[in-house]
Structure 1
Amino acid sequence: MSVIPIKTHRELVDSRVPGCGLPGEVFSRQDVFENDLDVFFNKLWILVGVTADVPEPGDVSTVEVGKASIMIVRDDDENIRTYRNVCRHRGSRIMKEPGKASVGMLVCPYHQWTYDLDGSLKHTSHMGKDFDPKCRSLIPVHTKVVGAHIFVCLSDDPPADISKLEEVMTPRFAPHQMQRTKIAFESELIENGNWKLVVENNRECYHCEATHPELTNSFLPEDFGFCPDGLGEEDLKSYDTYVARNAANKANWESEGYICSIFESLDESVHTNFRTQRLVIAGSNESQTLSTKVASTRLLGDLTRRDLGDVHMWGHNSWTHIMSDHSIVAFILPIAPDKTLVRTKWLVHEDAVEGVDYDLKTLTEVWLATNQQDAELVQNTHSGTQDPAYVPGPYSKYTEAELDKFCRWYDAKLKEQSI
């Protein structure tokens, strides 16, 4: 009886038909998952939190990325710092569980080695006069704060092109003053699917009209994708109206200094994969709510204008939507080949008061519903890709072009690592 050889990760990706999805084994195998963690979550920049996670000096937010654990810290000078959550003595976790805490110092629970918020080792016992604490500071993690977004890279050689994301996004975030926000609500959802399927689902809206009634209430239908084939005169006129509305909004916003244009850094040559645009919101053009009006009357920063649409940004582990009144920041962390943590945060102005300036249900109901719907879609897709009958089909060039770009980028990053 002949034995069919198991394809390597490289061979699996090479077998992808151009313009089609990845083979099912890329979503389920443990060796592929471990390679993905190493390349896409250890060697590239990833989003792990927002500045509002650590609003005061001494606040700590602990995040797990595969086997790694990092501590996001607000120091005494109110700077954001990140460290490996590993004591420099015998490796104990300093913060025993992921999540948030407020501390004066970072104290290892094993032998009470004590670190300042700047990472320096301040106290030990029984180590003798020859012991040099300067050689045992906490291990820092490369960190970049852009707006309210905290990006880290666990590699010793982080990709330099994070500077392009910073250059592009800083002026787009600036009017919203994202560091003057607080977390009104946050959720964690474990989706029963591979992280790449979560990304693919987020990068297309082919599925949106049929599955996201709450979200699409604030979307213009043409934003789901537009295929002119077979359309009648009325539909084509509707599309012309859409184009004209977008152009008018863009001209109006840009006359007041709000950047609107699409910027993409998605091709095979880049490491820091991201896309941004300011989109028109349906209806009142104010916010992603069921009414399309602001959820919070206390606008972000010093804004006075409500109808500023949606500044979106997504990367290979995150997506963000910023309106005049609030922002949704979500990021993913792989747990297993078939499990992905989706962490979502709703940000409002730091001085906004629940029940006075905003109603929590109005603020959160659209994306709570959308996240749950997406989790079901991802689970169903992951299951289907593991069926022996699964053969990857073609992407729509009108609504899924970004997925083919993602596959090509994914392939290129693996080749760079010779996987």
Structure 2
Amino acid sequence: MPAAFYLSPEIYDLDINGVLMKHWQCVTHVSAIPEVGDYVVFNYDRESAIIVRDKDGEIRGFANVCRHRGSRICESSGKAEGGMLICPYHAWAYSTDGSLAHARMMPRTLDKSTLGLKPLAVKVVQGLIFLSFADEPLSFDDCEANLNATLGAYDWAGAKIAFQSTISFSANWKLALENQVECYHCGPSHPEFSVVHGQSSGSEKKLAQMMNAKAEALGVDITITDQWAEKARPGYELSFSDRFPMSGENVCTASRDGAPLAPRMGKFAAGYDNGQTVAYVGVMNHFLCYGDYGAAFRYTPKSVNETELAVMWLVRGDAVEGKDYDLDELTWMWKVTAGADKRIVQENQIGVSSRFYTPGPYALPIEQKTARLSDWYLSALSKAISA
């Protein structure tokens, strides 16, 4: 796209408020807040949310804004003190259900029932916690069905977080996403990835047939969906999933040499199919499933030229670090790949900032998803401007 779409603060504001805010974001996994009162904080541009496990065990989301004078209540993730979320400014205290429990030095006539934290929409699917800041969020029905069919085969609901990390790109969110959805750059930019993933192989079709045969033998029925971009249903969150082969018959997972790294998950307890599953929710979240571990990715815009990538590694719920898996080896592939993505996306940002930049042609079909992403974005932006 033309340079202004990656450089303009005015377009960035339209992106946030007109295009992205109504979509769902994957905040974390339920294993991050296992006990009553546990909470995580999720920041999205100028907005902030508290996701907390209530006393009834339910997971709830609230705007991280005190109803007194607007202070942020929680700066980082933690545990509610005595079951209360307490604003550090004037010590207004909120129960984990969001209700105002105590407002010090205020009159007894204060109607506390009208001053609870503002609730946010939350969905929990296959152990993943999704949140939307929108007053009227997009329907999550398509995504829920897709995630249950795909991530469900790997029992992500019964998984746990092995590790989490964040990396900041000095680049516009659209450049980060345009890079993420295509594998045209995988060969030159990700040699580690290309060794074990079939997308970079000239024999991908043959490998895919082998993968499908093994999956069938294991009794794995993974639904593939494409309700994304031009096929998206109005009012529904974008949903997409696909299956890709690993690079050879003895390659089981995304590791240095394709050898397994952790105990097998879900239906893959019976063996490996030498494939991987990818699923998308919206445009900012995607999930990679291997037979022994999973990786969840979320892109978050921070400013016109800053984007954060959060990565979460999942393993089987009973897996023990140091005994069942080595953390350095488990995280190696996506640490090195994310590091390379940071470099190439930041160089891309510098390039589109040049007065010599003009948009070039896409290489089809390998960049088809990037073309679809751009078409979707321009359509969504046009609707936001017209609204």
TM-score normalised by structure 2 residue count: 0.92
Q: Please state how far the C-alpha of 1:348 moved relative to its aligned partner.
A: 1.3
Q: Is the 8 A contact 1:250 1:260 kept in 2?
A: no
The letter of the residue matching 1:247 is: Q
Of the three residues 309, 314, 322, the one matched with 1:347 is 314
* Aligned mates of 1:123, 1:302 — CA distance in 2: 49
User: What is residue 412 of structure 1 aligned with on the other side?
Assistant: 379
1:198 aligned to which of 163, 167, 176: 176
Q: Does 1:291 align with 2:268?
A: no
**Structure 1 stretches of 4+ moved >6 Å:** none
The CA distance in 2 between the partners of 1:39 and 1:310, in whole Å, is 34
What is residue 93 of structure 2 aligned with on the other side? 114
Partner in structure 2 of residue 77 of structure 1: 56
C-alpha separation in 2, matches of 1:244 and 1:346: 29
- Cross-structure match for 1:275: 240
Instruction: Verify the 8 A CA contact 1:306 1:325 in the aligned structure 2.
Output: no
Deviates more, 1:272-281 or 1:69-78: 272-281
Deviation sequence 1:233-278 (CA, Å, 0-9, x none): xxxxx64xx4243224224424544234532122334452232112
Q: SS where residue 182 of structure 1 aligns?
A: strand
Give the whole-Å Cα distance in 2 for the aligned partners of 1:71 and 1:272: 22
Find the partner of 1:136 among 104, 111, 115. 115
Which letter maps to 1:49?
T
Q: Distance in 1 between matches of 2:321 and 2:133?
A: 37
| Whole-angstrom CA distance in 2 between matches of 1:258 and 1:78 | 32
3-state DSSP of counterpart to 1:217: helix
Taking the aligned partners of 1:390 and 1:377, their CA distance within structure 2 comes to: 16
1:272 partner letter: E
Letter in 1 for 2:245: V
Structure 1 CA distance for aligned equivalents of residues 217 and 39 of structure 2: 41
Superposed displacement of residue 301, structure 1: 4.4
Amino acid of the structure 2 residue aligned with 1:262 = I
Structure 2 residue matching 1:184: 3-state secondary structure: strand
SS at match of 2:77: strand
**Among candidates 101, 116, 121, match of residue 78 of structure 2:** 101
Kindly state the Cα deviation for residue 89 of structure 1 after the two structures are TM-superposed.
Answer: 1.6
> 3-state SS of the aligned residue for 2:15?
helix
1:34 equivalent to 2:13? Answer yes
Partners of 1:174 and 1:273 in 2: how far apart?
19
What amino acid is the match of 1:102? K
- Unmatched segments (≥5 aa) in structure 2: none
**Paired residue type of 2:259:** K
- DSSP 3-state at the match of 2:193: helix
Q: What's the counterpart of residue 14 of structure 1?
A: none
The alpha-carbon deviation at position 388 of structure 1 amounts to 0.8
CA distances 1:74-105 after superposition (whole Å, capped 9, x unpaired): 2223322111001112211110x2x3212232
> In the alignment, does 2:194 pair up with 1:216?
yes
Residues in 1 aligned to 2:200 and 2:268: alpha-carbon distance in whole angstroms: 29
Of 401, 411, 415, which residue of structure 1 is paired with 2:368? 401
Structure 1: how far apart are the matches of 2:257 and 2:19? Answer: 38
SS at structure 2 position matched to 1:57: coil
The reply on whether 1:327 has 2:294 as its aligned counterpart is yes
Matches within 5 A, 1:355-394: 355-394=322-361
1:171 aligned residue: 149
2:212 maps to what in 1? 250
Distance 2:129 2:325 in 1: 26
Cα displacement string for residues 86-139 of structure 1 (whole angstroms, at most 9, x for unaligned residues): 1112211110x2x32122321111222211111122222332232222211211
Are the counterparts in 1 of residues 150 and 223 from structure 2 also a CA contact under 8 Å?
no
Task: Report sequence identity in percent.
Answer: 30
Whole-angstrom CA distance in 1 between matches of 2:238 and 2:361: 23
Please tell me whether residue 310 in structure 1 is matched to residue 276 in structure 2. yes
Distance 2:378 2:363 in 1: 20
1:152 offset after TM fit, Å? 1.6
| 1:185 aligned to which of 163, 183, 187 | 163
Take 1:413 and 1:336, find their aligned partners in 2: how far apart are those partners?
Answer: 19
Query: What is the TM-score normalised by the length of structure 1?
Result: 0.85
In the aligned structure 2, how far is the partner of 1:59 from the partner of 1:154?
Answer: 21
Distance 1:295 1:78 in 2: 33
Bigger Rg, which one: 1
1:150 maps onto 2:101 in alignment: no
Q: How far, CA to CA, are the matches of 1:295 and 1:252 in structure 2?
A: 20
Q: Which residue of 2 aligns with 1:235?
A: none
Aligned ranges 1:8-23 → 2 under 5 Å: 22-23=1-2
Alignment correspondent of 2:3: 24
Structure 1 letter corresponding to 2:211: N
The residue matched to 1:391 in structure 2 has which SS? coil
Q: Which moved more, 1:45-54 or 1:192-201?
A: 45-54
| Runs (5+) with no aligned partner, structure 1 | 1-21, 226-237
